[in-house]
Amino acid sequence: MDRVSPEKLADVAAEARERWSVPGLAVGLLRDGEIVMAADGQRKLGRPEPVTSETVFRIASITKPFTATLAMTLVQEGLLALDEPPPGTQVEATVRQLLSHQGGLAAEWPEPLDDSGLLELTEGEPERLPVGPGELFSYCNSGFWFVAAGIARTLGTSFEDAMRARVIEPLGLTSTGFEGADPARGHEQVEPGANEHAPAGTWYPAGRTASGGLWSSVPDLLRFAAHHLGKPGPLTASSVAEMQRACTRGPGFGYGLGWFLKRRRGRGAVEHPGSVLGFQSLLTLVPEEQVAFAALANSSRGSAAIRDVLGDLGLAEDRVPSVETADLRRFAGRYRGQEGVVQVTPENGGLRVERTEIDPFSEETIVLPAVRARPIGDREFEIVDGEWRGERFDFPRPGFVCMDLRLLQLE
């Protein structure tokens, strides 16, 4: 890709932030060892402090490649086996299956979480999916908790201390940790689709830290990315390559160990998004060009602004043409999962999708605006409107839909 000046990056970020009414946005680009960064907006609505390139945000599920990196440091030393269950846990799935979201477990815990620690939490029983380990991709936070618990038991320390000692400190990530120093505040839209925002809650259960508990900044994320592009760090080159090898596939992507594997403008991309408590984020690597992109937003619609920045930088996802698919009525119905319900209806050569979500923290029910989807494969579809434009979903086998990365079953 072409070099991007600081001025262009700043203009692109500001335009995307304003277009989507995102309170604050920080972005950065690493290319051939050179970093360019920009930021725009406020750390918290109603306060004067601006977002800067160094501002700390929750990175949410970008924590997952950090946890997978930690796990691989133990694999290198023979302390953890990828193809066995995590030590001291009761799950049947292997470490590899859990780190690639094919452990056969529901995404969240079967009851509301309290402040139980990781080891205490993972002594309980997770909720199983109606498919077994290794069968289908279904995004799963709890799988990462079991791997983290196995790491803690193996090392005789806490997961958090292991992360600091084996990943954060060796890479010199000075603003990354499980608490944020003078951080941005997350903001939720006052209702789905609204431009107006309000401050989000801040409580985050201790047991969830391995799947989404880290705070970080754009420069730290780009330093982490540089290691996964080949710079020195705790992992060997073969461990980095193992993490970037597809273990399973979902709608429009492969998934390795803690990394989504996609195509962006004809090039392979290794990446992970994040979304929690009014923050949305993305870390994307393009190994063949030694490029990395990091973006952090303090809004529940931040991913829409981040998508626009990627497009302006020439890093949009590859576009797939529409196809004709036989008898859309075979996909119709009401599908239910742990975190919500989806109604699918054939309409005008595509599908109408109506979603109701259940917030895993508040258990609040949220009805999202209906969206349209076009067929891009015999069983795969892409959303064409709204804030979720470009997201894909599929029907991996009769009676199931994988939407918002989660597996739901026909009622």
The answer to whether position 239 is within a domain reads yes
Domain boundary (265, 295, 318) is at 318
Same domain as 382, residue 284: no
Domain match, 196 and 139 both: yes
Answer whether residue 282 is part of any domain: yes
Q: What is the pLDDT of residue 305?
A: 97
Q: Tell me, yes or no, whether 346 and 263 share the same domain.
A: no
Q: What range defines the domain where residue 343 resides? A: 328-410
Instruction: For the chain, 411 residues long, give each residue's pLDDT as a single digit of tens.
Output: 778 999 999 999 999 999 999 999 999 999 989 999 999 999 999 999 999 999 999 999 999 999 999 999 999 999 999 999 999 998 999 999 999 999 999 999 988 888 889 999 999 889 999 999 999 999 999 999 999 999 999 999 999 999 999 999 999 999 999 999 899 999 999 998 899 999 999 999 999 999 999 999 999 999 999 999 999 999 999 999 999 999 999 999 999 999 999 999 899 999 999 999 999 999 999 999 999 999 999 999 999 999 999 999 999 999 999 998 889 999 999 999 988 999 999 999 999 999 998 876 667 788 999 999 999 999 999 999 988 899 999 999 999 999 999 999 999
DSSP string covering 246-315, please? -SEEETTEEE-SS-EEEEETTEEEEEEEEEETTEEEEEEEEGGGTEEEEEEESSTTHHHHHHHHHHHTT-
Residue 348 has a CB neighbour count (10 Å cut-off) of: 9
Q: Within this chain, do residues 139 and 281 fall inside the same structural domain, yes or no?
A: yes
Residues 189 and 294 in one domain: yes
Could you tell me if 43 and 49 are in contact, meaning their C-beta atoms sit under 8 angstroms apart? yes
d(CA 54, CA 51): 8
If one counts every other C-beta atom within 10 angstroms of the C-beta of residue 32, the result is 8
Same domain, 294 and 336: no
In total, how many domains does the chain have? 2
Residue 261 tokens, joined = 């594997």
CATH number of residue 349's parent domain: 2.40.128
Q: Are residues 224 and 357 in the same domain?
A: no
**Is residue 323, in this structure, part of any structural domain at all?**
no
Residues 356 and 270 in one domain: no
Same domain, 310 and 351: no
The CATH number of the domain holding residue 102 is 3.40.710.10
Q: Of 257, 289, 318, which marks where a domain is finished? A: 318
Task: Tell me: do 254 and 360 sit in the same domain.
Answer: no
**CA angle (142, 143, 145) in 5-degree steps:** 65
pLDDT (0 to 100) of residue 359:
75
In a domain, 157, yes or no: yes
The dihedral through the CA atoms of 323, 328, 330, 331 has a sign that is: positive
Only one residue has tokens 């709890």, namely: 142
Residues 259 and 404 in one domain: no
Domain boundary among 318, 346, 372: 318
The per-type count for the chain, helices as H runs and strands as E runs, is 10, 21
One domain for residues 229 and 110? yes
Total residue count of the chain as it appears in this document:
411
Q: For residue 410, list its beta bridge partners.
A: 335
In a domain, 398, yes or no: yes
